[in-house]
Structure 1
């Protein structure tokens, strides 16, 4: 009997120890904005827009000055964050209209799946945009890709950010909501943290605001704080960013109230660069700024892909610091999995790298350069790689296709048969605006990066799906 009691006691102690260990694992809160430019925040140098809560977050953590999204357009960027892979590799070539055959396939490895398997609770709140047949059994939904709980829209908040009516919660339509989209999303995330999530498990929450993507709507009291913004739609845009900042503040307050802040890694970022003013009918409010960068949304130059990046991890990241180390949303999956002790499958084709070494002040070692591809980018620059200070841009030789027009029949052949007519090399440390092509001055560097770019392009496109062929 004593041996039985001893064995029971040891088993109980082991279970308690495992539970305590699980509770010590960090939580992860990722906040991703939509079309927020590199220069749109006060702490990134915007002269007018007020973002006090994000200023505070930056003062409590690290502000990254070389933080990149996975793509210069929304759906590929989001697919890259979720899978840790170059979006082309998983077949997300462009933004996904409703009804499109494009989607992140159910068999893809995702950060939510891996963390869930490791005992995390997972939640998605906001814009999904990783499938065309949203809330339909015809394509995988957020729960099929690892999210226990989801409150989302397929694409934009509709009809505007004010009182949107197109949210779906765990497969059921929500109907009209009361408030601006970022507050609705932040409120749902807070409700999940307070009332639904299992307190005995760590969590991963992906909060994806619709702001400041069109169609923009902003609170009157915030619009009135920008009386000097005299261009059409300018005050609406500035107020929209400030309203999003308010929502970030409410999320940080929720973490404080629940005593979760000290063990939560918070990352704030954007899906791509800022929208071009008047690119389409309702874009008259799009007054976003790329700061000193070249290009904007839909460009493969840095204005399309370099975005704000703020991380706070108390006790691990030095408060009030700045880092120019190139990091990317593709890095989140391997970083979170290493911190959580989650196993990554040996056959996972990840393009990101773990940033955990940064917590100990170690350099980030990448097995391959950062890589971007967007075949509908503005101008001829369609592919790029960055390795340290250097960025190589490839100009394709197949004629121009309409930027941002979405994936169409015939596009697969363009992607598979791409030919490149020239390569541009930039030293981003010396030339952040990509104004001087120095390929002729540094032929060895250009040649090395060119090989890496072409090799990765071949790898990314080799098994990428032809959606219209698969739909037949």
Structure 2
């Protein structure tokens, strides 16, 4: 009888359905600073919807993007590789070819191989085509070639032409009778620019750099001609992207397809040009940048409401972060600095976008999974680079990246043992964090960026900071602890090899 009971129990458990793989949603803000999320208790701008994720999940105080600019950070997130190891991982022009090798393994490819339905909606800025892109034809090198089943993206970034959306391989709304042309070297004959026709700038005026073609009353980088039917309206961008993200969830319901989904929802806020919807204009009291952050917060709230309404929150891992730190004046006159008030986008950190100091790469980083992650604040160090190995562990796959670390237990709140070290990057320059210390080697160049007014981290001397005591990086300890410098140089060299040069 006992034997029979044992057999029955074994049979019962053997026929139990395996635990379904969770959906994964990455919400990725653009130029959002460490102090721009009110849950971090640094700034004065309220972000109630992002705060709900932070207060209901894990708010990381040592969460990093790999880089202080967007293209390399996005490259690292999707490939699991340090971006500075690959040539060309800089801020790309709008006509750049696809940066990610279509033959290499990527995060969406790994998830797709494991049975996931994969989608990307929003900002891309990782290049399209193969270097000779005709926007009027099917795009042969796109997000769909690196593992995404569905893509609805802006062609590059919102301050660069062409100002159109691309769905899978086609420019949305483009008419054959009005083709679109793009050139980053010279203008098309007879086409107006912000210089020749300043009256066209009805919504924003350029401060530096953004003085080429003007669309929707906003001057951009690069020249564009035609494609009038396909041009976006900046004010509608958040609604359009959310609508496409919502539709992706509707069309890929696990209950209908039997498959989980991965959605990379890449917000465009608060990147310049900041032209939020009328619903948000004037609401922050901080001008367009503050209003754009409120718009981003609304997007977060709406996508979470969608998951909750569809009964998906209990089986969806949600991650919220940003591609790099904050910048106020990034090429347009929009009162971002003048109307800042007491708000602190960098949250007391030094530097900002483009900087090797902490504000360049230390960003809001939140993990949320209703019923699976207990609310907490974690000081563990982790990086967006680590999604590759951590998600591999989550879904029972083999990690393909040696740069990425499996920190799934850290993301789920089961451990506070994060990374031991991390190489950080800003415009090709590298810094190194190990434990509580960060070292910045000597670099030539201006200490402060001319246009943005941000401390870049360049110095003729080594810089060493103990972040456990000096988060603002005011006290350079390099001369006090030369041995620590040597130790960190040796550790950094093991990772970066000839990509970093000392002395």
TM range (shorter): 0.7 to 0.9
Q: Which residue of 1 aligns with 2:380?
A: 325
TM-score by length of 1: 0.79
Provide the C-alpha distance between the structure 2 equivalents of 1:195 and 1:151, rounded to a whole number of angstroms. 14
Q: Which residue of 2 aligns with 1:193?
A: 249
Deviates more, 1:235-244 or 1:247-256: 235-244
Provide the C-alpha distance between the structure 2 equivalents of 1:27 and 1:143, rounded to a whole number of angstroms. 19
Is residue 341 of structure 1 aligned with residue 399 of structure 2?
no
- What SS does structure 1 have at the residue aligned with 2:462? strand
TM-score by length of 2: 0.75
CA gap 1:96/1:404 in 2 versus in 1, 3 angstroms: farther
Alignment counterpart, residue 445 of structure 1, candidates 481, 484, 488 = 484
Provide the C-alpha distance between the structure 2 equivalents of 1:245 and 1:429, rounded to a whole number of angstroms. 30
Provide the C-alpha distance between the structure 2 equivalents of 1:90 and 1:63, rounded to a whole number of angstroms. 31
Cα contact 1:86–1:460 (8 A) shared by 2: no
Q: Which residue of 1 aligns with 2:497?
A: 458
Q: Which residue of 2 aligns with 1:149?
A: 150
Report which of the two has the higher share of helix.
Answer: 1
TM-superposition CA deviations, 1:212-255 (whole Å, max 9, x none) = 001111233433334xx3xxxx3222111111111101100111
Q: Which residue of 2 aligns with 1:89?
A: 85
Q: Which residue of 1 aligns with 2:265?
A: 207
Provide the C-alpha distance between the structure 1 equivalents of 2:305 and 2:430, rounded to a whole number of angstroms. 41
Is residue 217 of structure 1 aligned with residue 264 of structure 2?
no
CA gap 1:365/1:295 in 2 versus in 1, 3 angstroms: closer
CA gap 1:283/1:457 in 2 versus in 1, 3 angstroms: farther
Deviates more, 1:192-201 or 1:431-440: 192-201
Corresponding residue pairs, total: 412
- Determine which structure has more spread, i.e. the larger CA radius of gyration: 2
Cα contact 1:165–1:174 (8 A) shared by 2: no
Q: Give 1:85 deviation, angstroms.
A: 1.0
- What SS does structure 1 have at the residue aligned with 2:68? coil
Gaps of 5+ in 2: 1-12, 174-229, 452-457
CA gap 1:404/1:272 in 2 versus in 1, 3 angstroms: farther
Q: Which residue of 1 aligns with 2:141?
A: 140
- What SS does structure 2 have at the residue aligned with 1:211? coil
Gaps of 5+ in 1: 1-12, 377-381, 406-418, 463-472
Q: Which residue of 1 aligns with 2:104?
A: 108
Cα contact 1:384–1:394 (8 A) shared by 2: yes
Provide the C-alpha distance between the structure 1 equivalents of 2:471 and 2:304, rounded to a whole number of angstroms. 32
Deviates more, 1:130-139 or 1:111-120: 130-139
Deviates more, 1:23-32 or 1:39-48: 39-48
TM-superposition CA deviations, 1:263-297 (whole Å, max 9, x none) = 111011110011242x4245654657111000010
CA gap 1:365/1:284 in 2 versus in 1, 3 angstroms: closer
Provide the C-alpha distance between the structure 1 equivalents of 2:291 and 2:328, rounded to a whole number of angstroms. 18
CA gap 1:187/1:200 in 2 versus in 1, 3 angstroms: same
Is residue 364 of structure 1 aligned with residue 360 of structure 2?
no
Equivalence map 1:384-423=2 (5 Å): 384-397=431-444, 399=445, 422-423=461-462
Is residue 428 of structure 1 aligned with residue 467 of structure 2?
yes
Q: Give 1:461 deviation, angstroms.
A: 7.8
Is residue 122 of structure 1 aligned with residue 161 of structure 2?
no
TM-superposition CA deviations, 1:364-390 (whole Å, max 9, x none) = 354x621123346xxxxx311112211
Alignment counterpart, residue 294 of structure 2, candidates 242, 252, 263 = 242
CA RMSD of aligned residues (A): 3.1
Equivalence map 1:256-275=2 (5 Å): 256-275=308-327
Deviates more, 1:444-453 or 1:57-66: 444-453
Cα contact 2:127–2:156 (8 A) shared by 1: no
Provide the C-alpha distance between the structure 2 equivalents of 1:101 and 1:425, rounded to a whole number of angstroms. 38
Q: Which residue of 2 aligns with 1:74?
A: 70
Equivalence map 1:13-92=2 (5 Å): 20-21=17-18, 24-92=20-88
CA gap 1:99/1:219 in 2 versus in 1, 3 angstroms: closer
Q: Which residue of 2 aligns with 1:182?
A: 238
Cα contact 1:337–1:343 (8 A) shared by 2: yes
Cα contact 2:387–2:404 (8 A) shared by 1: yes
- What SS does structure 2 have at the residue aligned with 1:362? coil
Provide the C-alpha distance between the structure 2 equivalents of 1:209 and 1:424, rounded to a whole number of angstroms. 34
Provide the C-alpha distance between the structure 1 equivalents of 2:140 and 2:491, rounded to a whole number of angstroms. 34
Provide the C-alpha distance between the structure 2 equivalents of 1:242 and 1:439, rounded to a whole number of angstroms. 41
TM-superposition CA deviations, 1:19-75 (whole Å, max 9, x none) = x43x61111100001111111122123543221111111111011111111100010
